[in-house]
A and B are shown apart, each in its own frame.
Chain A
């Protein structure tokens, strides 16, 4: 289990006025600002859970992951990962966790992945039988058997991500931190990585903490999400709940038999009306939906009427902008 209580992290960052004079002034007297990367964050993650960390760039997601992985020290707060304090960096915990960063390669670039795996086997003291079993299982599921003997630098981005994933999971960790695992990958590769993570989670039940800017990753993989804004936790719960409770906007679509020629007059306070071919789309708030529908249905007789929830990306964006707790 992961337990985080009152976690805060501040960074001291130096600032400089522009130009040569600014540089000279900085040389004599440097100015610093204190940046709060995390503020009083508390959460619990149970074994077998897959949690998505969502937030804008610089919100504090990666800082949280780095503290949980024992890479950086917090300014305040308590963290327990599988009963250990991560920044004690004891080997007992480090043998049970894995960190995968989509933007950073961890395998030897000039060597085939299998060579690096031999080193990882030694580092994690993986027994021979488990090592063989994991190589067999992971290469099979990830479909990269043929790429394991090719130098990592000669692999495509998608293949490289797969061999990185495989390397990180060889020791069968109980806690996996995934930081942007699908970044830069094409749609096919993203899909393959997602499918793999889903299967892996089902098979071995590790804790998986995932940060991603691709909502598709979160939607497919994480029943629970944690939203972080400016270092603070603003939501912790089911992804579907956000959509239901906080999906303020609704989209009303009226479909007609004939192609429409002009956008009809419509009170702007009831929402934004748009026209395309034989469709009228109205984006409005949940509260105004009934009134808006009344006005439209009095004016038109559509062939079909549908009410759609806004895409989750928009809901999250709204939510993050408003910072609602």
Chain B
């Protein structure tokens, strides 16, 4: 409850601040609209030439696409601006004041800034997601839908965990540019059905750097038919990734050298 109350303060602060910068507020909305149009358009064009993609029909693929747009919007709204700042906070010694507060430092640095100007886009992404679900031809129960939404939210948190794993090395390297670029390059894998990947790459994307588990696995579980092992795989890898990130973060804090005053 205490952390919820703290987060409500962050929300209030972030909205107050966002309203002050009107141009930035509207520009961000336009940018994200373009991102949605390009992504949806890409798959619409693709389905002009083929009826199926990695075993999915057009309406299923659109649910998949709208799901990763939703994950992206959630990430941009809740985590992205904070994560952008973490390497700077580490290098400039701004982490000092967080470390002396009786509250989780990871909570503070990950959630302090809520991107209020992305919130409108989040509402749009939810709208697109709902629309593609309504257009899904195969029937599904409310239970299946809730399970799917739960898996997508898990994917969103897994995305955060993976990005953190690529940010934490800055405690030792001082610059995380190369790691961040690598993360964003690999992040493209979120936007493709995992079945398009084969061999080592598939192993990499489903186990070591499990980008394919963010949206593609939940979509496969939703569309079925899938065996329980896919769900167990999702749970096991998610827990392992969380565990590794928390361990790595603690190691990073131990190596933190602050900055000269």
Interface residues, chain B, with chain A CB atoms under 8 Å away = 2, 5-6, 9-10, 12-13, 16-17, 20, 93-97, 99-103, 254, 256-258, 260-261
Contacts and interface: CB of A to CB of B under 8 A. Distances in A.
A119 B6 contact: yes
Contacts of A58: 260
B100 A71 contact: yes
Contacts of B2: 122, 125
Contact of B260 (A62, A119, A125): A62
20 contacts: A11-B257, A58-B260, A62-B261, A71-B95, A71-B96, A71-B99, A71-B100, A91-B102, A94-B100, A99-B97, A103-B261, A104-B96, A110-B17, A110-B20, A115-B12, A119-B6, A119-B9, A122-B2, A122-B9, A125-B2
A123 B254 CA distance: 23
B261 A73 contact: no
A43 interface: no
B100 A115 contact: no
Given A73-B254, A101-B97, A122-B6, 17 more contacts: A58-B260, A71-B99, A72-B256, A72-B257, A72-B258, A92-B102, A101-B96, A104-B93, A111-B13, A119-B6, A119-B9, A119-B13, A122-B2, A122-B5, A122-B9, A123-B103, A125-B2
A98 B102 CA distance: 11
Interface of A: 11, 58, 62, 66, 69-73, 89, 91-92, 94-95, 97-99, 101, 103-104, 106, 108, 110-111, 115, 118-119, 122-125, 179-180
A166 to B, nearest CB: 15
B101 A108 contact: no
A179 B12 CA distance: 31
Contacts of B99: 69-71, 89
Contacts, number: 71
B170 to A, nearest CB: 15
Given A119-B6, A122-B5, A108 B13 contact: yes
B261 A179 contact: yes
B92 to A, nearest CB: 9
A170 to B, nearest CB: 12
Nearest to B16: A111
A123 B5 CA distance: 10
B102 A94 contact: yes
A89 B256 CA distance: 14
Contacts of B95: 71
Nearest to A98: B100
A123 B102 contact: yes
